[in-house]
Structure 1
Amino acid sequence: MGTWGAGLLDSDSAQDFLDQAKGMPVDARSAMVEQVLVRVAEDSSVVNREFVPEEVVAAVAVVAVTAAGSCDFEWMTNEALLEVARDMDSQIHLRDAAISALGAVTGSGSSSLLSGWKSEDDRRLMERQIDEIRSVLSDG
């Protein structure tokens, strides 16, 4: 996986997920997001077998940005994310699955999203953005 920053969506895997979704009709985008989140929420063992953590986070970000109705945080201004979310109804009905799926990819101390950073500042940025996304989902 390639990364170019420490943000939630600053990886090839997250952007590939969003790029794939961008090319779909709105209903198919919604179904794709729902499939990932429900599958991971039901069985966290699919992480790294069926979906990499960055794809899960991208799906969670779609739910959060459609539910928020605003772009209060830096990760919410990602062009690919906004293009996926464009014309989508709020996905707040997926909030519980999104929170559960986010926990599945960030909950353990060995989470690849939170470990392995060369810079402590980068790790803290990722951690802060994960907290922001949780906050958006909790307020939804």
Structure 2
Amino acid sequence: MGAKVSIPHSVLHSARKRSSRTISKHASPTEYEQTLTDHSGDSRVSSTTVDLSLLCFNAHQKTASDRMTCNHFALKALFEGNVMPVIKQHIDFSSTSTAVLDIGCGSGSWVMDMATEYPSTQFIGIDQLPLFPHDIRPANVTFKQADVLTGLP
């Protein structure tokens, strides 16, 4: 299950004024909890637990790879790029002598996106699980399946 946050009802319902019961049902009761909340107008403070994965991810995404790719593009949009400007000040991504290692690359979406953006730089992605692309990838990308806790390959 994804990360959860507790949101006060006053925040959840400030935009829409309701006084009744709200039942939130998710895709599967075994996958997500069902939340039943009473909004009877009393002055007590209450909150609802919201599964943060529901805020970003489509319910039809079935695989971890899909979720990782969605997460990559959400973070890229949030930070307005693949690399924060302060990092770009210290690394010349246009140099052919630059190499980038992504440990725990998952689906490899960040590595692939960066390799397309910076074709002169070599990108290496390492992960325990082979979720990354095996056949189609830019020429400046290498993926390795390995456990870095036992050493680099």
- After TM superposition, the score normalised by the length of structure 1 is 0.36
More strand by share: 2
More helix by share: 1
- After TM superposition, the score normalised by the length of structure 2 is 0.33
